[in-house]
Amino acid sequence: MIDVINKIYTPGMSQAFVKESDEQWLHDIPPTLTALVNYLTKENNGIRVYKIKEDVNPGTGKSVYEMSNRLKYSTDDNSRWFVV
């Protein structure tokens, strides 16, 4: 009987599984605010993340964005995003 059940029900891989090649990292996304918002929203299970405040770092002259997830983000000299 168990052999019959195993032949009928063979669970496939969950769609929740993320292939390693589909992974995207913060430093890999384009250096635009739109790309940052889209990435953070995706990482937040689809719950929209938005810009709360924008400041300029006086030392670098680069924008620093405080987002609704309460983290601050900026780009480095190679235009890669990082958490401040």
Q: What is the pLDDT of residue 23?
A: 81
Q: What is the pLDDT of residue 6?
A: 45
Q: What is the pLDDT of residue 34?
A: 98
Which among 19, 14, 69 is positioned nearest to 45, based on CA atoms? 69
CA geometry: angle 32, 35, 36, nearest 5 deg: 85
Domain boundary assignment for the chain: 14-83
Task: Encode the chain (84 residues) as per-residue pLDDT tens digits.
Answer: 554 444 444 455 444 444 445 689 999 999 999 999 999 999 999 999 999 999 999 999 999 999 999 999 999 999 999 999
Q: What is the pLDDT of residue 66?
A: 98
Q: What is the pLDDT of residue 55?
A: 98
